């Protein structure tokens, strides 16, 4: 095991955070008495958002000129032409229309900072959520036994000893499959909880913390000692800012949703310079078998949350935007034809969004053929024309500088499609 | 003469047989030879080591008891696993659904999609109201529907299931069987994250794993292969041969997939037919294609890679495909009404008639069904062994038995057991010795365990305290060490999840990795410390401890005395010098008392005001207050000491 120690860099911790309150006494003592943990030189950060449940890519980004789609979705099809009562799709390029609830994406798309890949998915045609998510997160679409997840391997391939406990962070209660593996990754559902806690007894907590710190410092077990040290340094790093009263930059307003809160905390971690390079968040509710709605309804609510959360994050990043690329992913798409209950069933290809200053934006990448039956996969679904590994590996390569696809995606030989500009 | 010779001969024979038999018996129940003295351990230290590896943590007084009983006898008793568990059974009896069969679970705990389908069909919910309008109202409607039908949400089943695991681990007298149940479940991992198999998981642990934990490995393997949980988790239930290889008509195979159903629905849809007149042919072609890819290799691959041979076990992709063909037709028996699992099989079984199943080559055992019409009848070769055409169900059994007895399996399983019970990197010598026993005894797990404990490696320095407790083990060992009374086991699960082990929810078929480093990261370690503090200061609802009672109602005279007493009690036979040395300064903080007092003064003290309606009220409450403050600070101090011990590095090791 490579050493994860040694990230106490000298100098670093200007005591600017102390005045903000919420810093336990022992930390002040500790900071005064020992070498403080240092700031990390900010590196590039990839933020992945997994949309669990399989997003209907054909409704998010609709090939609205397609007569087959219109016929297959009598009550779900939306048009780009404005009519009196309904909000139209946002015409992106004369062929694809963005769902009106995602209007905030339009500007970044026009500014060429957002790319969309349509017809993206897995070569394994399973339509089981579990299997498809498992394959996408392990990055090995035909192999269940792969122990590690692709994001964990990505952390391992960054090419430098992270020496920070925060190199890979998942804003979830437990580590997602994507982060399974031997490289450092931590699951945090709430930054405020990242401390020694004794409710209503701050002094007690401080004393306990001091005792723990001493105990772990002297233990004979190597990795307990190491990790103990990291834990306390991590606490100190997080204490540099007032996590509770965070004020996003540029008046960004995060939706008060699970995804909104996750992205807000990712933004905080980025600004704290804790050395995070891969971040992960989740969004749920995409399994729309029943009444998925059109410009309003459950699907509209979901895409609205997705786009508002991402755009609040983007605004909050402000001058740091160059360092960050956001990528969404979902396990598969949904049937071309709507079902008997106003929804759609499990399908194959979907679409994803990539946001960043380095993307080849303003374009719907990939291949979406006319949705006539002979073009559909198994006679029913939008065909997968772009392997998710092609896009994931390109983003990881161009943004994070990870070149070793054979490790990132062991069975992947295919080409990239140019979703990144540089 | 002849007869008497015969008689003598037979006497001699009987005599020899009796000696042989008794020596055999002696061997079985013989005193085990545990070479702990050679490793420089005292009997008490050896007992503590046994307890740390073969229980979920020593309880106060356990070391004495093991020494008194004798180490060998104690271990044998644990292997047998038949000590009465009345107290535990009493606690478990409160969880009414932990003994439901798969069929009963299907009926009582339907998946939410199925509930919705039923509710719509019965007219209790209008399909247009789903996801629309008042969601609260909609949820209420659904709840009402479930109540009137006697249905329960699946979450409740899992809550009971998880609770029983926690109670068993904390209170069972047959600790080793609990540990082995955990070990083998993890080895043959199935997951609650996969909805389709989730409701079968409780019965999987109860009926498939638990009864087989010290028996023959082949029994475990076979029963897992035939269990609904595994069949669905690794998809083998849907795997079938090609129509050509089976010589059957497609519709007899009962394998209409979702896709095909939807093709047929589409066929009925005139609008789309107008769109493409050539569709019919296409659908037929697609259906034909579908039949060709009826094979699913998931289970065949994992059974070799993860359950038996190991990834370096010497099999090829071709072996995987061939093994998958051998195991085609292994699926679930029909269960439940209203389109429950095995619904596809139901029609076929009904058509043939239960009495004729056997004649037609079906095999039905409980929830398992072998369907000959889905089985690939051709010849196969796996790992060089030929399976002649027409082997049916039996060739699957043969294949699994062969895998169970394979030399690679002997090594793979031995290494895994040694990794769990000895240390993270067991020595090849130990693994070889265990593998030899495995092979000699045709995979007798009990014998392999005995070889392991009788080895010098088990008692060596490289093993002592070298394993890191998993979050589950940490929580349970703390509860046992403090003799806690658990009334809400699920509360512990929440903490165990926070510390990084969401039991039964591990998604990958590998199961949780068994390595210290896996469990310990910055976030999880902090939560371990916080768990210790929360438990000791009684902030985990439904988990009660009485620190004073634990120390035979003696209140330690000083903080230092508390530290010594409780560390020894919670971690018997350990060298605690360093721990105590490091913790002393915290206790000797001269301001400790006043600091805690100050904190306590700020907190409102419960005042028995109602009974004190006289003039002395003020004075009385003042005195009481001071007393209470003193009491509280003592209690706080004690809780803090114990909390820090539980969160200490030493307690993370076993």
Strands A45-51 and A278-283: parallel
Q: Find residues 153-182 of chain A whose CB sits inside 8 Å of chain B.
A: 165, 173-175, 177, 180, 182
A14 burial type by CB count under 10 A (0-12 exposed, 13-18 middle, 19+ buried): exposed
**Cβ–Cβ contact A134 with B under 8 A:** yes
Determine the pLDDT at residue A356: 98
**Chain B residue whose CA is closest to A142:** B298
Which two structure tokens, joined as six digits, stand for B86?
């009345």
| Total domain count, chain B | 2
SS (H, E, C) B478-513: HHHHCCCEECCHHHHHHHHHHCCCCCCCCCCCCCCC
Which residues neighbour B379 within 8 Å (Cβ) at sequence distance 6 or greater?
B386, B387, B388, B389
What does the DSSP assignment read for A321-378? GGGEEEEEEES--BBSS--TTSS--B-S-EEEEEESTTB--SEEEE------GGGSBT
Which two structure tokens, joined as six digits, stand for B203?
């019965």
Which residues neighbour B585 within 8 Å (Cβ) at sequence distance 6 or greater?
A214
Using an 8 Å CB-CB cutoff, list chain B residues near A130: 193-196, 507
B636 located within any domain:
yes
**Chain A residue whose CA is closest to B467:** A221
* Cα–Cα distance, A189 to A98 (Å, whole number): 31
B79 located within any domain:
no
* Cα–Cα distance, B199 to B192 (Å, whole number): 8
Using an 8 Å CB-CB cutoff, list chain B residues near A214: 582-583, 585
**Chain A residue whose CA is closest to B288:** A378
Q: In A24-64, which ranges are continuous DSSP H helix?
A: 25-33, 57-60
CA nearest neighbour of B92 among B174, B161, B183: B161
B557 located within any domain:
yes
Q: Measure CB to CB from residue A145 to each of B120, B290, B302 and give the nearest one.
A: B302
b vs e for B438-449, b when ≥16 Cβ sit within 10 Å of the residue's Cβ?
A: bbebebbbbbbb
* Cα–Cα distance, B408 to B308 (Å, whole number): 7
CB atoms A128 and B522 under 8 Å: no
Q: Chunked in runs of 10, what are the mean pLDDT values of chain B (654 residues)?
A: 61 62 48 92 96 97 96 97 97 96 92 86 83 78 92 96 98 98 98 91 98 98 98 92 58 44 49 46 48 75 95 91 96 76 78 89 94 95 97 97 98 98 97 98 98 98 95 98 96 94 92 90 90 95 92 80 89 88 71 50 38 41 56 74 93 95
- Supply φ then ψ for residue B386, to 5 degrees: -90, 135
**Chain B residue whose CA is closest to A202:** B599
Q: Find residues 137-156 of chain A whose CB sits inside 8 Å of chain B.
A: 138, 143-147
CB atoms A228 and B649 under 8 Å: yes
Using an 8 Å CB-CB cutoff, list chain A residues near B267: none
B588 located within any domain:
yes
Q: Which residues of chain A are under the pLDDT cut of 50?
A: 1-37
B536 located within any domain:
yes
* Cα–Cα distance, A1 to A6 (Å, whole number): 14
Q: Measure CB to CB from residue B537 to each of A195, A198, A207 and give the nearest one.
A: A198
Using an 8 Å CB-CB cutoff, list chain B residues near A370: none
Which residues neighbour B305 within 8 Å (Cβ) at sequence distance 6 or greater?
A145, B311, B313
* Cα–Cα distance, B216 to A345 (Å, whole number): 44
Report in angstroms the alpha-carbon separations of B460 from B36, B38, B171, B380: 8, 9, 29, 47
**Domains in chain A: ranges and CATH:** 44-194+250-408 (3.40.720)
Which structural domain range is residue B503 located in? 471-652
Determine the pLDDT at residue A420: 97
**Chain A residue whose CA is closest to B305:** A145
CB atoms B508 and A224 under 8 Å: no
B516 located within any domain:
yes
B172 located within any domain:
no
CB atoms B595 and A203 under 8 Å: yes
pLDDT in tens, A335-392: 999 988 889 999 999 999 999 999 999 999 999 999 999 999 999 999 999 999 999 9
CB atoms B513 and A228 under 8 Å: no
What value does the CA radius of gyration of chain B take, rounded to a whole number of Å?
A: 31
pLDDT in tens, A159-200: 877 678 899 999 998 889 999 988 888 888 889 888 888 877
**B603 near A198, Cβ under 8 Å?**
no
B145 located within any domain:
no
In DSSP terms, which residues pair with A278 in a beta bridge?
A46, A168
Determine the pLDDT at residue B633: 66
Q: Which helix (H) or strand (E) holds B72?
A: helix B71-80
Which residues neighbour B150 within 8 Å (Cβ) at sequence distance 6 or greater?
B108
- Supply φ then ψ for residue B126, to 5 degrees: -85, 135
Distance (Å) from the alpha carbon of B356 to chain A's nearest alpha carbon: 34
Which residues neighbour A181 within 8 Å (Cβ) at sequence distance 6 or greater?
A147, A148, A149, A152, A153, A156
**A380 near A132, Cβ under 8 Å?**
no
B72-80: Cβ within 8 A, 24+ apart: B72/B30, B72/B31, B72/B32, B72/B34, B73/B31, B74/B47, B74/B50, B75/B32, B75/B34, B75/B50, B75/B176, B75/B453, B76/B29, B76/B32, B78/B54, B78/B174, B78/B175, B78/B176, B78/B177, B79/B176, B79/B214, B79/B446, B79/B449, B79/B450
Q: Measure CB to CB from residue A373 to each of B279, B523, B539 and give the nearest one.
A: B279
* Cα–Cα distance, B428 to B422 (Å, whole number): 12
CB atoms A373 and B640 under 8 Å: no
Distance (Å) from the alpha carbon of B192 to chain A's nearest alpha carbon: 10
Using an 8 Å CB-CB cutoff, list chain A residues near B131: 288, 290-293, 297-298, 343
Tell the residue number behind the tokens 């890979």, with chain if given.
A168
Tell the residue number behind the tokens 């009997």, with chain if given.
B43
Using an 8 Å CB-CB cutoff, list chain A residues near B195: 129-130
Q: Measure CB to CB from residue A219 to each of B196, B534, B649 and give the nearest one.
A: B649
pLDDT in tens, A396-415: 999 999 987 789 999 898 89
ipTM above 0.90, yes or no: no
């Amino acid at each position: 095991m490579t050493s994860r120690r040694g990230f106490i860099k000298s100098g670093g911790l200007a005591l600017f955070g102390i005045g903000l309150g919420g810093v336990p006494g022992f930390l002040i003592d500790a900071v005064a008495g020992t070498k403080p943990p240092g700031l990390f030189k900010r590196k590039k950060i990839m933020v992945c958002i997994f949309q669990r449940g399989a997003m209907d890519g054909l409704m998010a980004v609709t090939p609205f000129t397609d007569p087959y789609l219109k016929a297959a979705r009598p009550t779900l099809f939306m048009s780009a032409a404005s009519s009196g009562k309904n909000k139209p799709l946002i015409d992106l390029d004369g062929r694809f229309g963005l769902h009106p609830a995602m209007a905030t994406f339009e500007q970044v798309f026009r500014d060429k900072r957002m790319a969309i890949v349509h017809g993206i998915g897995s070569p394994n045609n399973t339509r089981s959520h579990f299997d498809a998510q498992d394959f996408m997160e392990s990055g090995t679409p035909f192999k269940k036994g792969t122990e590690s997840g692709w994001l964990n391997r990505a952390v391992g391939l960054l090419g430098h000893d992270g020496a920070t406990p925060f190199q890979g962070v998942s804003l979830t209660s437990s580590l997602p499959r994507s982060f399974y593996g031997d490289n450092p990754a931590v699951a945090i559902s709430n930054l405020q909880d990242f401390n020694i806690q004794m409710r209503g007894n701050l002094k007690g907590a401080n004393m306990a913390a001091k005792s723990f710190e001493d105990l772990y410092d002297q233990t004979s077990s190597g990795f307990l000692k190491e990790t103990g040290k990291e834990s306390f340094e991590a606490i100190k790093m997080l204490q540099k800012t007032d996590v509770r009263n965070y004020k996003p930059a540029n008046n960004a307003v995060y939706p008060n949703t699970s995804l909104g809160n996750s992205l807000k905390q990712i933004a905080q971690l980025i600004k704290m310079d804790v050395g995070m390079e891969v971040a992960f968040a989740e969004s749920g509710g995409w399994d729309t078998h029943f009444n998925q709605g059109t410009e309003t309804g459950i699907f509209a609510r979901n895409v609205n949350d997705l786009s508002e959360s991402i755009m609040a994050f983007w605004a909050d990043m402000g001058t740091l935007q160059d360092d960050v690329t956001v990528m969404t992913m979902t396990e598969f798409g949904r049937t071309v034809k709507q079902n008997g209950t106003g929804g759609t069933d499990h399908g194959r290809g979907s679409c994803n969004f990539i946001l960043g200053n380095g993307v080849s934006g303003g374009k719907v990448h990939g291949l979406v053929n006319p949705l006539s039956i002979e073009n559909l996969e198994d006679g029913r679904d939008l065909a997968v024309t772009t392997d998710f590994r092609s896009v994931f590996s390109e983003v990881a390569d161009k943004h994070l500088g990870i070149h070793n696809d054979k490790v990132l995606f062991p069975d992947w030989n295919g080409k990239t499609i140019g979703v990144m500009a540089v | 003469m002849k007869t008497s010779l015969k008689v003598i001969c037979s006497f001699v024979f009987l005599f020899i047989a009796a000696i042989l038999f008794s020596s055999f018996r002696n061997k079985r129940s013989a005193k085990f030879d545990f070479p702990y003295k050679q490793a420089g351990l005292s009997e008490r230290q050896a007992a503590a080591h046994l307890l740390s590896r073969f229980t979920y943590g020593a309880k106060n007084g356990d070391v004495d008891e093991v020494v008194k009983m004798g180490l060998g006898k104690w271990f044998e008793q644990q292997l047998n696993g038949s000590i009465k568990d009345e107290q535990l059974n009493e606690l478990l009896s409160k969880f009414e659904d932990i003994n439901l069969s798969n069929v009963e679970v299907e009926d009582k705990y339907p998946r939410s999609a199925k509930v919705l389908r039923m509710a719509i069909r019965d007219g209790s919910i209008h399909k247009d109201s789903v996801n629309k309008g008042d969601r609260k109202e909609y949820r209420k409607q659904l709840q009402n529907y479930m109540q009137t039908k006697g249905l329960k949400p699946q979450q409740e089943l899992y809550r009971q299931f998880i609770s029983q695991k926690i109670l068993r681990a904390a209170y069972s007298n047959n600790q080793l069987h609990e540990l082995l149940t955990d070990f083998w479940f993890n080895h043959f991992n199935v997951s609650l994250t996969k909805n389709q198999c989730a409701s079968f998981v409780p019965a999987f642990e109860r009926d498939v794993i638990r009864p087989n934990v010290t028996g023959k490995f082949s029994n475990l393997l076979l029963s897992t292969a035939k269990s609904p949980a595994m069949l669905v988790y690794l998809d083998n239930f849907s795997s079938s041969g090609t129509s050509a290889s089976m010589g059957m008509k497609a519709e007899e195979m009962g394998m209409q997939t979702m896709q095909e159903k939807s093709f047929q629905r589409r066929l009925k849809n005139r609008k789309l037919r107008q769109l493409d007149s050539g569709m019919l042919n296409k659908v037929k072609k697609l259906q034909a294609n579908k039949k060709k890819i009826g094979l699913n290799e998931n289970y065949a691959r994992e059974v070799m890679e993860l359950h038996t041979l190991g990834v370096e076990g010497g099999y090829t992709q071709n072996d995987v495909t061939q093994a998958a063909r051998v195991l085609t037709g292994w699926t679930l028996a029909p269960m439940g009404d209203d389109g429950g699992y095995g619904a596809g099989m139901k029609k076929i079984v009904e058509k043939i008639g239960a009495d004729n199943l056997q004649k037609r080559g079906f095999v039905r055992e409980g929830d398992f069904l072998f369907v000959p019409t889905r089985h690939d009848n051709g010849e196969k070769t796996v790992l060089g062994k030929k399976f002649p055409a027409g082997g049916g169900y039996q060739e699957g059994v043969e294949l699994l038995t062969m895998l169970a007895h394979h030399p690679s399996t002997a090594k793979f399983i031995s290494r895994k057991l040694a990794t769990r019970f000895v240390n993270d990197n067991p020595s090849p010598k130990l693994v070889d010795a265990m593998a030899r026993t495995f092979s000699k005894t045709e995979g007798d797990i009990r014998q392999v365990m005995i070889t392991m404990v009788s080895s010098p490696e088990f008692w060596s320095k490289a093993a002592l305290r070298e394993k890191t407790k998993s979050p589950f083990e940490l929580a349970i060992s703390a509860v046992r060490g403090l003799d806690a009374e658990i009334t809400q086991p699920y509360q512990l699960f929440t903490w165990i999840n926070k510390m990084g082990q969401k039991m039964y929810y591990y998604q990958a078929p590998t199961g949780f990795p068994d390595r210290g480093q896996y469990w310990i990261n910055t976030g999880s370690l902090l939560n371990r410390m916080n768990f210790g503090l929360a438990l000791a200061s009684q902030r985990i609802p439904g988990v009660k401890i009485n620190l004073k009672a634990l120390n035979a109602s003696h209140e330690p005279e000083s903080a230092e005395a508390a530290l010594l007493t409780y560390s020894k009690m919670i971690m018997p036979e350990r060298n605690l010098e360093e721990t105590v040395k490091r913790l002393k300064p915290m206790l000797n903080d001269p301001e400790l008392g006043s600091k805690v007092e100050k904190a306590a003064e700020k907190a409102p003290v419960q005042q028995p005001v109602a009974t004190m309606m006289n003039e002395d009220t003020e004075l009385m409450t003042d005195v009481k207050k001071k007393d209470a403050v003193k009491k509280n600070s003592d209690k706080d101090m004690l809780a803090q000491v114990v909390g820090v011990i539980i969160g200490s590095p030493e307690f993370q090791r076993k």
